[in-house]
Structure 1
Amino acid sequence: MFGTQDLTQFIIAGILLNIAPGPDSLLIMTRSATQGWRAGSAAALGIGAGTLVHIMAAALGLSALLATSATAFTIVKLAGAAYLLYVGVSLLLSKAKTNTSKETTPLPALSHGKIFAQGFLTNVLNPKVAIFFLAFVPQFIAADASNKPLALIVLGCIFNFNGMLWCHLLAVSTAFARQRVRISQAVTLWLNRFIGMMFISFGIKLALANKH
């Protein structure tokens, strides 16, 4: 159908790849733990929108430019690394804020629109995702497919749909766990700083990454 092949294997592999931890998952968990599942879902939707950009870019051949042009890859890579470092430093330097009920919150609440933008930028500025769609998805496009870009879009949308199911499950389960397990604000603050360090490590890793 649509020039695809081995669809079952593609779905299984895609689910396993989506489950693998990374900056996207970390962002969803951070926002769900601090602002509830809706905030985590907003981050997930932003990530899904970023993935759609990568899918369309791969179908249009723009991702091939990142794969072949060292300059283009470096520019996008450094932009993505800088953004991950920015998010990490923001978390690392976060301070507890006292509200009217004299409770502390470890992070300033962001609007769902800003959280969506965080998810979008975290994903779309990662050139490794673009290279992934060029390296992984074509393996499941039939050699005799009449419209290979359409087949890539179909497979990309299936991958993204499954990814969104996982991301929203992660958002809900993280928020549920946060409600069930009461953690002191001091511990939460240090957890946010630890997560900030993780984002910084992701940013450094991306900055040092090669195309292959």
Structure 2
Amino acid sequence: MDAQLVAFTGVAAGMVAMPGADFTVVVRNALVSRRAGVACALGIAGGLLLHTALAVAGVAAVLTAVPALFRTLQLLGGAYVLYLGLRTLRSLGRPRGVVPDGVDPGPGEAGAGQERPRASAAGEEGPGARPLRQGFVTNALNPKAPITFLSLLPQFVPAGSPAMPRTLLLALIVVVLALLWFPAVALLVDRLGRWLRGPWAARAVEGVTGGALTVLGLVLVLEPLRS
């Protein structure tokens, strides 16, 4: 058994499962439908795949060498998370049963009296496309992720061994963990949806997730401005 590999898996699992913008966005979408939650989770895994690929290629080093680029990406990522949070809070004033912008309930998942998604015209996005994009953009616009991977991955490459194959394996572990964790969160939230989608519970969860996204977005936006 490779002790370093086991240790890295534990560290990576903690990083992936740590509550943050990714987790909150998945919960927000899963409250609308299972399909939206899983699509958002897959988008986050795609963002992690992008970050790990950049780290393996060494491109993330550019973010360390060019602070202005790092701060610009921080501002973009924070602004997007802030936008999602404010839009979630705005949806609190929407009558129950109206699907929030950017998420699509799956077939048969809208209850009685709820608005059904309109049929997509040719060339328009299909159901799940927006949650998928939300998950990807939320994760991909986090500039701290490639820096984290760039500093973490080399710690688990044994001395004298080829760096590229080992780093690729470590990156693959991170993506697999994300593919297990975030869809599991989406499915659990959907399973509890009978209670979480009740009028009062739904508003409470929307308020908490919207508030969390808004605070996270403000922190991400203000941090580069203060530095």
Q: Report the TM-score when normalising by structure 2.
A: 0.81
Residues 31 and 197 in structure 2, CA contact (< 8 A), matched pair in contact too: no
- Distance in 2 (CA, whole Å) between partners of 1:156 and 1:182 is 35
Alignment of 1:15-164 (within 5 A): 15-35=13-33, 37-94=34-91, 95-97=93-95, 104-105=97-98, 107-108=100-101, 109-110=103-104, 111-146=127-162, 148-164=163-179
- Distance in 1 (CA, whole Å) between partners of 2:221 and 2:189 is 29
Residues 96 and 189 in structure 1, CA contact (< 8 A), matched pair in contact too: no
- Distance in 2 (CA, whole Å) between partners of 1:204 and 1:20 is 19
For 2:210, the equivalent position in structure 1 comes to: 196
Q: CA deviation at 1:5?
A: 6.6
Q: CA deviation at 1:43?
A: 0.5
Given the superposition, is the C-alpha separation of residues 191 and 68 from structure 1 closer, same or farther in structure 2, using an over 3 Å criterion? same
- Distance in 2 (CA, whole Å) between partners of 1:15 and 1:167 is 11
Q: Which runs of 5+ in 1 are unaligned?
A: 98-102
Equivalent residue in structure 2 for 1:11, among 9, 16, 31: 9
Letter in structure 1 aligned against 2:177: N
- Distance in 2 (CA, whole Å) between partners of 1:5 and 1:137 is 15
Given the superposition, is the C-alpha separation of residues 46 and 131 from structure 1 closer, same or farther in structure 2, using an over 3 Å criterion? same
For 1:174, the equivalent position in structure 2 comes to: 189
Letter in structure 2 aligned against 1:193: G
Q: Which runs of 5+ in 2 are unaligned?
A: 105-126
Letter in structure 2 aligned against 1:189: R
- Distance in 2 (CA, whole Å) between partners of 1:145 and 1:72 is 33
- Distance in 1 (CA, whole Å) between partners of 2:196 and 2:220 is 34
Count of equivalent residues? 201
- Distance in 2 (CA, whole Å) between partners of 1:162 and 1:184 is 31
Letter in structure 2 aligned against 1:127: P
Q: CA deviation at 1:116?
A: 0.3
Q: CA deviation at 1:105?
A: 3.4
Given the superposition, is the C-alpha separation of residues 167 and 183 from structure 1 closer, same or farther in structure 2, using an over 3 Å criterion? closer
Q: CA RMSD in A?
A: 2.2
- Distance in 2 (CA, whole Å) between partners of 1:182 and 1:23 is 20
Q: Report the TM-score when normalising by structure 1.
A: 0.86
- Distance in 2 (CA, whole Å) between partners of 1:60 and 1:13 is 21
- Distance in 1 (CA, whole Å) between partners of 2:8 and 2:32 is 34
Letter in structure 2 aligned against 1:96: R
Deviates more, 1:188-197 or 1:11-20: 188-197
1:21 alignment partner, SS class: coil
Deviates more, 1:183-192 or 1:157-166: 183-192
